[in-house]
């Protein structure tokens, strides 16, 4: 029953959200707006989606090399692409499928691969999103457009917190470096605290923290840490530009750094378990463009639809191609993960 709900619930939620988002939209006006979109611009935004996958594959090499050793680019790119394709499946399957595929096709232990994916998504990407939001609050309004729309008042009130966010990120990065270098001691402390706690939540948190620690090995070396930070900055710079280009190609004029405010909202919205972020992505995009930047509602709806399509379809197509050409076996879709092991 639970499995059926997980498979049906996400698509049903997506349909409901899409209906709520577009229920007041004139389909004739939307169709006309879509036809006026810049095809070269949208193609460029889609191409950047492919570049984004390539960059993620290179960054994963840095995390894996520190933990286990070099893995071929094809294996990493195939696993990353199939993982993104699996975003259409319920339960964030892609985040588990990617390390599972790599562990079955290489000598990397599943636990190690899963830890690197966890560090990538929970640590590096979360810090990048918070950094974008912090910069969006502290940069001049002429760059970000903060204050243009009627819904900007709440963000303007948070402007002073932008600097706090940036300082907090620097402190968090320093703590992560210390944890990585004192990993054995930290693991012992976490295991003792979690093992002696009568609180189930505390024990679960302890297990989650312990599972992530092997993925922090790249934080020990200054060279690999700098490489990770530069790669993460490049990844999110490409994501930001692809979204900005998609929106502008759809007919919405934006200040040059407007995506610093839009991307954190999108990242938070797609955390809801709908296939490929359907519904959540569109709702936040529409609200952000209209409320924060005063965009025309029809143009904003067109931007939400087209930007989502051109930035998701290429990665999905690449992942599907790898899956069809032997990158995904039937038993992989069962997602029966092997026991987490330190080494193989």
pLDDT, tens digit (0-9, with 9 covering 90-100), for 56-73: 999 999 998 876 667 888
How far apart are the C-alpha atoms of 247 and 243, rounded to whole Å?
A: 6
Q: What are phi and psi of 339, to 5 degrees?
A: -60, 145
Determine the pLDDT at residue 145. Answer: 86
- Closest of 211, 224, 190 to residue 122, by C-alpha: 211
Determine the pLDDT at residue 243. Answer: 95
Interacting residues of 78 by C-beta distance below 8 A, sequence separation 6+: 101, 322, 327
Tokens of 167: 């300082």
Determine the pLDDT at residue 33. Answer: 94
Low-confidence residues in the chain, pLDDT < 50: 330-331, 333-338, 340-344
Determine the pLDDT at residue 85. Answer: 86
pTM higher than 0.85 for the full model?
A: yes
- Closest of 335, 338, 318 to residue 327, by C-alpha: 318
Determine the pLDDT at residue 91. Answer: 61
The number of angstroms, rounded, from the C-alpha of 304 to the middle of its chain's C-alpha atoms is: 17
How far is CA 154 from each of CA 126, 244, 320, rounded to the nearest angstrom?
A: 22, 22, 41
Per-residue three-class SS string for 268-297? HHCCCCCHHHCCHHHHHHHHHHHHHHCCCH
Determine the pLDDT at residue 327. Answer: 56
Place of tokens 């050409």: 325
Tokens of 24: 């007041």
Calculate the CA dihedral of residues 112, 118, 123, 129 and round it to 10 degrees. Answer: 140
Determine the pLDDT at residue 342. Answer: 44
Determine the pLDDT at residue 242. Answer: 95
Determine the pLDDT at residue 329. Answer: 54
CB atoms within 10 A of CB 194: 18
How far apart are the C-alpha atoms of 339 and 95, rounded to whole Å?
A: 16
């Amino acid at each position: 029953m639970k499995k059926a709900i997980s498979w049906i619930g996400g698509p049903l939620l997506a349909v409901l959200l899409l209906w709520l988002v577009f229920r007041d939209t004139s389909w004739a006006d939307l169709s006309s707006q879509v036809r006026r979109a810049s095809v070269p611009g949208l193609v460029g935004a889609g191409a950047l989606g492919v570049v984004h996958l390539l960059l993620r594959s290179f960054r994963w090499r840095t995390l894996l090399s520190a933990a286990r050793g070099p893995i071929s680019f094809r294996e990493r790119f195939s696993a990353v692409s199939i993982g993104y394709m699996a975003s259409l499946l319920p339960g964030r399957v892609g985040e588990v499928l990617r390390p599972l595929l790599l562990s079955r096709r290489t000598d990397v232990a599943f636990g190690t691969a899963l830890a690197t994916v966890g560090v990538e998504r929970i640590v590096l990407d979360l810090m990048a999103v918070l950094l974008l939001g912090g910069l969006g609050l502290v940069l001049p309004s002429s760059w970000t457009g903060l204050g243009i729309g009627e819904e900007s008042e709440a963000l303007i009130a948070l402007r002073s917190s932008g600097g706090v966010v940036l300082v907090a990120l620097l402190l968090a990065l320093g703590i992560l470096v210390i944890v990585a270098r004192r990993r054995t001691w930290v693991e012992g402390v976490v295991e003792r605290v979690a093992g002696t706690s009568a609180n189930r939540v505390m024990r679960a948190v302890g297990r989650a923290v312990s599972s992530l620690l092997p993925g922090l090995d790249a934080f020990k070396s200054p060279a690999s840490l700098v490489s990770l930070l530069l790669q993460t900055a490049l990844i999110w710079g490409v994501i930001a530009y692809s979204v900005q280009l998609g929106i502008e190609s759809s007919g919405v004029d934006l200040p040059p750094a407007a995506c610093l405010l839009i991307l954190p909202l999108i990242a938070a919205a797609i955390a809801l378990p709908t296939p490929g972020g359907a519904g959540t992505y569109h709702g936040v995009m529409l609200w952000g463009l209209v409320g924060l930047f005063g965009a025309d509602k029809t143009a904003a709806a067109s931007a939400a639809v087209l930007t989502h399509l051109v930035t998701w379809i290429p990665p999905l197509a690449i992942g599907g191609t790898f899956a069809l050409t032997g990158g995904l076996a039937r038993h992989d879709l069962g997602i029966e993960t092997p026991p987490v092991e330190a080494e193989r």
